[in-house]
Amino acid sequence: MSSEPEALVSKIQVFEPHKASLPAMGPYIREFWRRRRFAFELARFTDKAEHLNSPLGSVWLVLNPLLLALIYFMLVTIIGGRGSAGSSRFDVLAHILVGLFTWYFAQNCMTFGGASVTAGGKLILNQAFPRALLPLSSLIGAFQKFMPTLPVYLIIYLVGGALDSKSRLPGLNWHLLWVPVMVALVAISGFGLALLFATMNVYFRDTSKLMTYGARMWLYLSPVLWMPDMIHGWHRILIWANPLGPILAITNTVWIKGENPSWTLWLGATGWAFGLLFIGGYFFVSRERDFAVRI
């Protein structure tokens, strides 16, 4: 990028009325990209501020889903009883664990993203910048919280699989090369959700409160506590109608079954990810000029 047009860009600005439509997207995305550093620093500083309050901060990030997974595991094996006979108990735990880690990445995007705009009140009132940087920073924060869980999971997955003789986990295999693509799809979905809930939260301040229940319900409807293969026929709509359904099914296929996910699953996951991004993006960007009066 040459510096000259950029200098011109920041030189003359025209502010004009708008209806509930998008601003010129070219300049918007350029400005968004130019100031991406802000989103990274905001995520870093927010993280820092949180850690000031809790010395065990980063440990909890891994410990929390781990403990939850144990609780869910006990629930599932007690309720399921012999229903899950045949498959190793550890495989069930491994499935719940990877599902929860993935789920929490998406849920953190929703929770942090949902609060990002309302929490940035003063900044929004006093500074003009592409507001989508705030949910972006939530995505970055959620991603940074998600990353340490991957190696932890990998260790549990490999060690447990080796120790449990009944385990049918595939262990290290080539299909795991899909993991970066899977993470990218969750991240895109998460950004879409963050944009969506951030906007909702500006208009309805109790969104974040409702979201706690909504998210829990959503988790139970997702193939995290149950295997995607457990449902058949029209019940499988639970997977397809769920924005995170296909990607969680892919997660199960790759990690637990060690197979190549079907192209229909990929199509579903990609479709939902970009669908969420576009819907959330449109919703957010078309209304963000309204935020300053509503904060």
Partner 1 sequence: MTLRYASNAEMPEGLAVRIEELSLRYKINVESKMTLKNAIMRAGRGEKRRVRTIEAVKNLSLDIPHGTVMGVVGANGAGKSTLMRAIAGILPPTEGRIIVNGKVSTLLALGVGFNGTLSGRDNIILGGLAAGLEREELEERFDDIASFADLPNGFIDMPMRTYSAGMYGRLAFSVAVNMTPDILLIDEALSTGDAAFKEKSFEKMRQLCLEARTIIIVSHALGTLNELCDKALWMHQGNALAFGDATKVTEKYLEFLNVGKVPSALEDF
> Which stretches of the chain bind partner 1, using CB under 8 A?
8-18, 23-24, 27-28, 31, 34-35, 37-38, 41-42, 45-46, 48-49, 52-53, 120-131, 133, 203-207, 210, 288-289, 292-294
Question: Least distance from C-beta 2 to partner 1, angstroms?
Answer: 16
Question: Least distance from C-beta 124 to partner 1, angstroms?
Answer: 8
Question: Least distance from C-beta 294 to partner 1, angstroms?
Answer: 8
Question: Which of residues 41 and 229 has its CB atom nearest to partner 1 in the complex?
Answer: 41
Return the closest-CA partner of residue 101 out of 252, 210, 230.
252
SS (H, E, C) 215-269: HHHHHHHCCCCCCHHHCCHHHHHHHHCCCCHHHHHHHHHHHHHCCCCCHHHHHHH
Question: Which of residues 42 and 277 has its CB atom nearest to partner 1 in the complex?
Answer: 42
Which residues in 199-247 belong to E strands, given as ranges? none
Question: Least distance from C-beta 141 to partner 1, angstroms?
Answer: 14
Question: Which of residues 87 and 208 has its CB atom nearest to partner 1 in the complex?
Answer: 208
Question: Which of residues 127 and 173 has its CB atom nearest to partner 1 in the complex?
Answer: 127
Question: CA 246 to CA 242: how far, in whole Å?
Answer: 7
Question: Least distance from C-beta 212 to partner 1, angstroms?
Answer: 13
**Torsion from C-alpha of 167, 168, 174, 180, nearest 10 degrees:** -70
Question: Which of residues 37 and 235 has its CB atom nearest to partner 1 in the complex?
Answer: 37
Instruction: Classify the C-alpha dihedral 263-268-273-277 as positive or negative.
Output: positive
Question: CA 217 to CA 227: how far, in whole Å?
Answer: 17
Helix (H, G, I), strand (E, B) or coil at 129: coil
